[in-house]
Amino acid sequence: MIDSEIREISRNLGSISYEDSTILITGGAGFLGSWICDSLIQQNAQVICLDNLSSGRLENISHLLDNDHFRFIEHDISIPVDLDEKLDFIFHLASRASPFEFEKFPLDILKSNTYGTLNSLELAKRSNAIMLFTSTSEVYGDAHIVPTPESYQGNVNPVGIRGCYDEAKRVGEAFCMAYVRQFNCDVRIARIFNTYGPRMRSDGYYGRVIPRFIQQANNGDPITIFGDGKQTRSFCYITDQVEGLFRLAGTDNLKGEIVNIGNPEEVTILQLAHNIIVETNSKSPTIFQELPPDDPKRRCPVIEKARDLLEWHPKISLKDGLRRTIYSFNDKHKH
CA distance 299 to 194: 9
CA angle, residues 289, 292, 293, in degrees to nearest 5: 145
Q: Is 265 in the site for ligand UDP (CB under 6 A)?
A: no
Shortest spacing between CB 213 and ligand UDP, in angstroms: 7
289 CB contacts (<8 Å, ≥6 apart)? 224, 225, 226
Task: Report phi then psi at 255, rounded to 5.
Answer: -55, 130
Between 88 and 108, whose beta carbon lies closer to ligand UDP?
A: 108
Piece in contact with ligand UDP (CB under 6 A), picked from 88-96, 221-229, 252-260, 325-333: 221-229
11 CB contacts (<8 Å, ≥6 apart)? none
Quick note: the x/- pattern for ligand UDP over 171-210, rule CB under 6 A, is -----------------------x-------------xx-
Task: Report phi then psi at 136, rounded to 5.
Answer: -155, 155
DSSP one-letter code for 46: E
Q: Answer whether 281's CB lies under 8 Å from 213's CB.
A: no
Shortest spacing between CB 16 and ligand UDP, in angstroms: 29
Shortest spacing between CB 212 and ligand UDP, in angstroms: 4
Between 132 and 269, whose beta carbon lies closer to ligand UDP?
A: 269
Q: Answer whether 158's CB lies under 8 Å from 266's CB.
A: no
Which helix H or strand E contains 304, and what residues bound it?
Answer: helix 304-310
Applying CB under 6 A, among 8, 122, 265, 295 the residue interacting with ligand UDP is: 295
Q: Answer whether 193's CB lies under 8 Å from 260's CB.
A: yes
Q: Which of 140, 165, 196, 206 is catalytic?
A: 165
Shortest spacing between CB 193 and ligand UDP, in angstroms: 9
Handedness of CA 122, 119, 136, 39 (dihedral sign): positive
Piece in contact with ligand UDP (CB under 6 A), picked from 10-18, 47-55, 72-80, 218-226: 218-226
Q: Is 14 left (phi over 0), alpha (psi -120 to 50) or beta?
A: left
User: Could you confirm whether 165 is annotated as catalytic?
Assistant: yes
Between 152 and 226, whose beta carbon lies closer to ligand UDP?
A: 226
Identify the burial level of 197 via C-beta atoms within 10 angstroms of its C-beta, where 0-12 means exposed, 13-18 middle and 19 or more buried. buried
Between 21 and 284, whose beta carbon lies closer to ligand UDP?
A: 284
CA distance 85 to 37: 17
Q: Is 212 in the site for ligand UDP (CB under 6 A)?
A: yes
Shortest spacing between CB 333 and ligand UDP, in angstroms: 22
Q: Answer whether 253's CB lies under 8 Å from 240's CB.
A: no
Q: Is 221 in the site for ligand UDP (CB under 6 A)?
A: no
Shortest spacing between CB 224 and ligand UDP, in angstroms: 4
Between 169 and 247, whose beta carbon lies closer to ligand UDP?
A: 169
Between 98 and 325, whose beta carbon lies closer to ligand UDP?
A: 98
Assign 24 to helix, strand or coil. strand
Segment 47 to 106, residues that bind ligand UDP, using CB under 6 A: 98-99
Between 40 and 225, whose beta carbon lies closer to ligand UDP?
A: 225
Size of the site for ligand UDP (CB under 6 A): 14
Active site amino acids: 165
Residues within the interface to ligand UDP (CB under 6 A): 98-99, 194, 208-209, 212, 224-226, 231, 233, 269, 292, 295
